[in-house]
Chain A
Amino acid sequence: MMHFNKILELAKKMSRAILYSENIESSEFLNEKDKEEIKNKLKQNSSYWKERDTILRKINVAEDWKKVEQKILIPKSKTKYLFRYAAAAILILGLSSLFFIFQNKLIKQPVEITAGTDKATLILGNGEKVELTQASRYVGVNASMVNNQLEYNNAFQANKLNAGVNVLNIPRGGQFVVQLSDGTKVWLNSESQLKYPVKFNSGEPRTVELLYGEAYFDVTPSSQHNGDHFKVVTKNQKVEVLGTEFNVRAYRNEKNIFTSLIEGSVKISKDKITKFLTPGFQSVVSLNNSVIEVKKIDVNNEAAWKKGLFIFEKEPLKEMMIELSRWYDVEIVFINKEKEKFVFSGSLNREDNIKDLLENLEKTKEVDFEIRGKKIYIK
């Protein structure tokens, strides 16, 4: 803090010296080269002042305050908010070092393919279905919509009437955030289903079931719950945790279950095999055999979807298109099957138009896309 005050003091001294055409003293906070640069810009450089003026003209304080005011008066959910962080997306062709900057070109099409939104179907213990969106004002006996997420209340007294299991179903083109009764937060990706008790029984592991799909868990520590572990069960594996953040990906049409650990420690088991994961590692459980493979990964890529990004790292076009199809809810048809194996890298903001990505892929001259309604043909 004192350091910063000294910088401000220096700025003041420099302005005085320049206005009075005096010499500028040296300072430990500014090397000679930078000092000369600042002095020259401020004193004689009219292009510096012109440029500054041009930029300042592009800033409308009153208008931008309105934007800020709107956001702070009507708070958005954190997840939604994260989408804005990655404004520009850059696509890089994996095998050559070319990259293209996205341009906001829109092609007019009769049927618009749009990015997904926050939506889910909540299936209550009695089979009743509730459609939820970001704007829902759902208030139930034990859960309600708060800040665009579904929050379970730990305080309510479970009895035979209201206890039981709920299921949250996320369709294609959807995503959703739920906070379970123990405070654990779960981000659910498109085409996923999560089953969980409305309240966990004390003295037993807190168990939820990822029926299929992808989910990112931020688990509250066992120490806050009398030592009760947290367990994520999928069709072919179990993940046991003590309080941590991790991502589980178990899609129906994929042969493997991927569990990536961001923070903490988890135990993965399949049949009789058990492996522990440390942060930055991913386990791959194959549906066909009883092996758990563990490998190092870039966790940022793995949980990118949660931050509102697609990040592809040397990804075959087929896998890439499958992932995109879930979010944009489109059907992918490879007319030229050979193209399925083409490998690309790049990233995309999940709020962006899919056409931007396709156009940039086309610029590589390796693939051609044709959009007809909700189908994308790859040639």
Chain B
Amino acid sequence: MNNPAFTLKEFKEIFESLYPSLCLFANTYVKDISVAKDLVQDVFIKIWESNVKLKEKTLTKAYLYTSVKNKCIDYLKSKRVRVINKQVEVEGLDVLESEAHFNREVILIEASQIIHDAINSLPQKYSQVVLLSMKNLTNKEIAEVLSLNINTVKAHKKIAYQKLRPLLKGYYYLFMLIFIEM
């Protein structure tokens, strides 16, 4: 089955780069990682099958995050956890459906990913300094903890921030400004 929007290879690349984050995101709704994984896989399958017309050959994060959210809400509704007075109600569904939940979890997951990638991109001697400084330790305290000269700490920090700059700048351009029609 062919999809005119992407080649299988392109689709695989999108999957590989976004699948873990989307699973984490789905998990904030369904609180069960194996269910979350199934739902995210379903979203990818549906996108492939539905011949989504894309103006660009890239899927937006916005589209994927929104689809995953909708899928999770549908799933929770289908579970139909019911209360005795016959009203169909899934506990806390209104909270999960809110924009605040969506924004908070997307930001947390995306920021975690950036920080994780940033730290991992640094050689250990620099990442140690950054990690401790993230915990609000002063340069002096970091120097004590790592048994380093305070000037070394300052120098490491400077180099680390220089190395991080390009990473933090261009991060999202891959996924931006692409419009999808269903």
Contacts and interface: CB of A to CB of B under 8 A. Distances in A.
Do A and B share a complex? yes
B20 A61 contact: yes
A43 B136 CA distance: 8
A99 to B, nearest CB: 7
A9 B80 contact: no
A18 B171 CA distance: 16
A4 B102 CA distance: 10
Given A31-B100, A86-B79, A41 B108 contact: yes
Interface in A1-59: 1, 4-5, 7-12, 14-16, 18-21, 29-31, 34, 37-38, 41-44, 49, 52, 55-56, 58-59
B54 interface: no
A111 interface: no
A9 B27 contact: no
Contacts of A84: 38, 42
State the main secondary structure of chain B at its contact with A. Answer: helix
A101 to B, nearest CB: 10
Contact of B134 (A18, A74, A99, A313): A18
A68 B44 contact: yes
Contacts of B152: none
A298 interface: yes
Nearest to B66: A4
Interface string B118-129: 110000000000
B1 interface: yes
Interface in B1-51: 1, 3, 8, 11-12, 15-16, 19-20, 23-24, 27, 32-35, 37-38, 41-42, 44-45, 48-49
B111 A14 contact: yes
B19 A71 contact: no
A154 interface: no
Interface in B40-68: 41-42, 44-45, 48-49, 60-62, 65-66
A64 interface: yes
A71 B62 contact: no
B104 A97 contact: no
Interface footprint category on A: 35 or more
A89 B161 CA distance: 50
Contact of B107 (A14, A59, A99): A14
B118 A56 contact: no
Interface footprint category on B: 35 or more
A11 B110 contact: yes
A309 interface: yes
Contacts of A34: 100, 103-104
Interface string A97-136: 1010000000000000000000000000000000000000
A298 B82 CA distance: 13
Interface string A238-279: 000000000000000000000000000000000000000000
Given A5-B62, A309-B78, A347-B80, A87 B35 contact: yes
Nearest to A70: B45
Contacts of B37: 58-59, 64
A12 B35 contact: no
B88 interface: yes
6 contacts: A7-B106, A15-B118, A59-B20, A72-B49, A74-B1, A97-B83
Interface of B: 1, 3, 8, 11-12, 15-16, 19-20, 23-24, 27, 32-35, 37-38, 41-42, 44-45, 48-49, 60-62, 65-66, 74-75, 78-84, 86, 88, 100, 103-104, 106-108, 110-112, 114-115, 118-119, 130, 133-136, 161, 164, 168, 171-172, 175-177, 179
Interface of A: 1, 4-5, 7-12, 14-16, 18-21, 29-31, 34, 37-38, 41-44, 49, 52, 55-56, 58-59, 61, 64-65, 67-69, 71-75, 84-90, 92, 96-97, 99, 298, 300, 307, 309, 311, 313, 345, 347
Question: What 5 pairs between A and B have smallest CB-CB spacing?
Answer: A4-B62, A11-B110, A15-B114, A34-B104, A15-B111
